[in-house]
Amino acid sequence: MSSLLPAVAEQLFRDIQRTYRDTSHIPDDLLIALKFVFGPCALQALDLVDQRSVTCLSSPSGRKAFQVIGASGRLYTCFVSCHYCPCPAFAYTVLRRNEGLLCKHILAAYLCQAMGVTQQESVSDQQMSMLLSGTAAP
């Protein structure tokens, strides 16, 4: 995970990872904790996970980015390493108002990683560079 998240969030993802690996579901107590830590976007993020909307793009150089298909069908490229998403909710709720840790797209990427259900796609270093610079999508 990332050292940019509070310790309680890190522990929550570890608990989800351990429990989901053993049982293939997230128990109610962890769902309640998820809602408590991340607020209303937790349910929306879980919906994105259920819809298999998260794809991890990785390049030979080791760079990673996550593409998340939002509820509206729009594709967002998220960078969990620096907690960035180009969605309006991230800009307003997280950056401007400081009312949340993450948007639903980044949270969905973390949850998919913890649950081991992230779709994987390999891209070239050139495609990743273009993606990182915002000039093109793979």
Distance between CA atoms of 13 and 9, rounded to whole angstroms? 6
Count the Cβ atoms, other than its own, within 10 Å of residue 43. 13
Residue 103: exposure state from Cβ atoms within 10 A (0-12, 13-18, ≥19): buried
Q: Quick one: three-class SS letters along 57-110?
A: EECCCCCEEEEEECCCCCEEEEECCCCECCCHHHHHHHHHCCCCCCCHHHHHHH
For the entire predicted model, the pTM comes to: 0.89
Residue 125: the pLDDT is 94
Give the pLDDT confidence score for residue 117 in this predicted structure: 95
pLDDT of residue 4: 61
> pLDDT truncated to tens, each residue of the chain (138 aa)?
445 678 999 999 999 999 999 999 999 999 999 999 999 899 999 999 999 999 999 999 999 999 999 989 999 999 888 889 999 999 999 899 988 889 999 999 999 999 999 999 999 999 999 988 875 554
The 8-class DSSP code of residue 25 comes to S
Of 42, 16, 44, 14, the residue nearest 29 (C-alpha): 16
What pLDDT sits at residue 2?
Answer: 46
Q: Is 129 helix (H, G, I), strand (E, B) or coil?
A: helix
Residue bearing tokens 């939002």: 70
pLDDT at residue 1, as a whole number:
45
Distance separating alpha carbons of residues 128 and 114, to the nearest angstrom: 23
Count helices and strands (H / E) in the chain: 6, 4
